[in-house]
A = this chain, B = another copy of it.
Amino acid sequence: MKAGALDLGEASKGLAPRGGVNKGVSILDFILRLIALIGTLGSAIAMGTTDETLPFFTQFIRFRAKYDDLPSFTFFVVANSIVSAYLALSLPLSIFHIVRSGARSSRIILIFFDTAMLALLTAGASAAAAIVYLAHKGNARANWISICQQFNSFCERISGSLIGSFGGILVFILIVILSAVAVSRR
């Protein structure tokens, strides 16, 4: 496609900086993907290993809080794992875009999956955030008590694991926009 445009006689002085900008955009895209990968993978691991057993127990009950007691947290771990696996798989394609900065259809395919993954990651992070808020504050009207008074380190852990995920969302928005810019200046 790019070669075709060249043949059709676009001024070469106009094309050289464009290719340079696209290479820069592709490198930035690669770095952002790495950052998002670290964030989502960190979130998945931090949440997935959350497990607190209180030091006291009765004859029948041991007080224990694990992330999969709450379905939203399981969804959070699954969503973050899927997104980080996708990001790892998209890295080779990102390198391909650095080498061949004129590629267009592969970029559009990537925008499609990026947008879908952005939605998945946001869904996981915000469902977990809603439950974390409830764990901290409880809700008097619905008679849901705050569980953070008993499970202190559990609550710190689940709150902290949201950070990587929300950072990943911001980075993903940047990635989609960068791809749109790159696709527009072929």
Contact = CB atoms under 8 A, between A and B. Distances in A.
A178 to B, nearest CB: 10
Contacts of A11: 8
Given A115-B173, A119-B122, A122-B119, A141 B179 contact: no
Nearest to A181: B108
A176 interface: yes
A21 interface: no
A31 interface: no
Interface residues of A, number: 49
B142 A69 contact: yes
A17 interface: no
B141 A70 contact: yes
A169 B126 CA distance: 14
Interface in A101-129: 104, 107-108, 111-112, 115-116, 118-119, 122-129
Interface in A80-113: 104, 107-108, 111-112
Interface in A18-71: 65, 69-71
A130 B72 CA distance: 6
A71 B133 contact: yes
Please indicate which of the listed interface residues A123, A126, A145 has the most CB atoms of chain B within 10 Å of its own CB.
A126
Interface of A: 5, 8-11, 65, 69-72, 104, 107-108, 111-112, 115-116, 118-119, 122-131, 133-135, 139, 141-145, 147, 169, 173, 176-177, 179-181, 183-184, 186
8 contacts: A8-B9, A69-B141, A69-B142, A118-B122, A123-B123, A123-B126, A124-B126, A134-B144
User: Across chains A and B, which 5 residue pairs bring their CB atoms closest together, nearest first?
Assistant: A127-B130, A123-B126, A69-B141, A122-B122, A144-B144
